[in-house]
């Protein structure tokens, strides 16, 4: 495990108070000249207004209808690829054998890699994180109609910190919807502002925990009392919108989803951008690292010339 100072202790044996975040949400390109510590930046894109306060932003038409159709076909091919079936990057429904997720899709699909590399996509992350970024994780999710079982409330950063050794919440996720998100087909619920509160969780991380936790997480989840407290403080909202819309959200956002009893499936392309200044160390609260297809350790920036973006921030 990491011997680095742990400002976000979790997977504990005794309850401790919630931790109010001291890290910025929107990061400045350059550290505080006096202390060398992090400074808050400001977003320039109107579409990211509110990210600082809410911890997320929705981008209604990130993909055109033509792109939605093309990427819908692409992710269909990935799920049906017989060469990939059985690969550890492909998560399959235990009973029916349906593909639920394909990880590391930026290495499996050239169109998806090119999409992620476009300024309109990775530029969103650079603007929030105030630095060049790399891909911590990418995947495609396929949630069928009827019985998509949803997932409980959690913070991704809690897991990335505990099990992957991500030092600080200086990462953002972008979920691009390839199907329509209604309020009633298991669409993501968020607690606006909850990214400012870190909830230490109880319970030691078992070895190989990730295999189970990708299906149903039991360790690294807040208690009902935590959720009741956060919901009273921050409220709950939902990410809905047409196919092609996207949600950018902070790594410490508290989120979850209900089950889906409608016939309407949900598919999305999901990618996590981490700041190159926040590269992984050893896990803070797990006996071993998770595999690279879940938590990449290639910290090569997607582009080194994030200067344009950083200059934008400095204006």
Under the rule (CB under 8 A), what is the footprint of its own copies? 145-146, 150, 152-153, 182-184, 186, 189, 224, 227-228, 231-232, 236, 238, 256-264
Q: Which is nearer to its own copies, 205 or 260 (CB)?
A: 260
269 close to 105: Cβ distance less than 8 angstroms: yes
Nearer to its own copies, 256 or 291 (CB): 256
DSSP 7: S
> Smallest distance, Å, CB 130 to its own copies?
33
Match 């505990």 to its residue by tokens.
162
Residue 68 CB, shortest distance to its own copies, in Å, is 20
Among candidate residues 301, 293, 298, 254, the one with its CA nearest the CA of residue 275: 301
Phi-psi region of 293 (alpha: psi -120 to 50; beta: other; left: phi over 0): alpha
Judged by beta carbon, residue 124 or residue 191, the one nearer its own copies is 191
Residue 183 Cβ vs its own copies, minimum distance, rounded to whole Å: 3
107 or 238: CB nearest its own copies:
238
**Nearest distance, CB of residue 236 and its own copies, angstroms:** 6
* CB of residue 230 to its own copies, shortest distance in Å: 9
Residue 146 makes CB contacts below 8 A (sequence gap 6+) with 260, 261, 262, 263
Pair type for strands 197-198 and 19-20: antiparallel
Q: How far apart are CA 263 and CA 291, in angstroms?
A: 34
Three-state SS at 231: helix
Q: String of b and e for 188-210 (b: at least 16 CB within 10 Å)?
A: bbbbbbbbbbbbbbbeebeeebb
CA distance 104 to 106: 5
Which lies closer to its own copies via its Cβ, residue 159 or residue 260? 260
Minimum Å gap between C-beta 226 and its own copies is: 10
C-beta closer to its own copies: residue 44 or 98 = 98
């Amino acid at each position: 495990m990491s011997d680095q100072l742990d400002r976000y202790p979790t997977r504990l044996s005794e309850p401790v108070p919630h931790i109010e975040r001291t890290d910025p949400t929107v990061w400045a390109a350059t550290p505080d000249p006096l202390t060398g510590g992090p400074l808050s930046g400001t977003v320039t894109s109107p579409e990211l207004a509110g990210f600082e306060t809410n911890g997320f932003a929705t981008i209604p038409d990130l993909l055109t209808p033509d792109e939605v159709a093309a990427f819908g076909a692409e992710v269909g091919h990935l799920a049906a690829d017989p060469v990939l079936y059985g690969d550890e990057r492909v998560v399959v429904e235990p009973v029916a054998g349906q593909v639920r997720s394909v990880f590391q899709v930026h290495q499996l699909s050239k169109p998806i890699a090119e999409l992620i590399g476009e300024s309109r996509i990775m530029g969103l992350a650079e603007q929030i994180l105030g630095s060049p970024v790399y891909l911590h994780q990418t995947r495609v999710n396929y949630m069928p109609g009827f019985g998509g079982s949803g997932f409980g409330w959690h913070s991704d950063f809690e897991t990335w910190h505990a099990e992957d050794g991500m030092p600080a919440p200086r990462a953002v996720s972008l979920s691009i919807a390839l199907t329509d998100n209604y309020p009633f087909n298991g669409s993501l619920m968020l607690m606006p502002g909850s990214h400012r509160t870190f909830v230490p969780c109880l319970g030691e991380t078992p070895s190989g925990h990730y295999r189970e936790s990708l299906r149903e997480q039991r360790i690294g989840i807040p208690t009902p009392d935590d959720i009741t407290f956060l919901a009273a403080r921050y409220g709950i909202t939902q990410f809905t919108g047409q196919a092609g819309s996207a949600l950018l959200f902070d790594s410490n956002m508290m989120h979850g989803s209900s089950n889906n009893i409608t016939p309407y499936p949900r598919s999305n392309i999901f990618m996590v951008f981490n700041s190159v200044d926040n590269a992984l160390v050893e896990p803070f609260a797990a006996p071993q690292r998770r595999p690279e297809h879940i938590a990449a350790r290639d910290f090569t920036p997607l582009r080194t010339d994030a200067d344009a973006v950083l200059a934008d921030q400095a204006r």
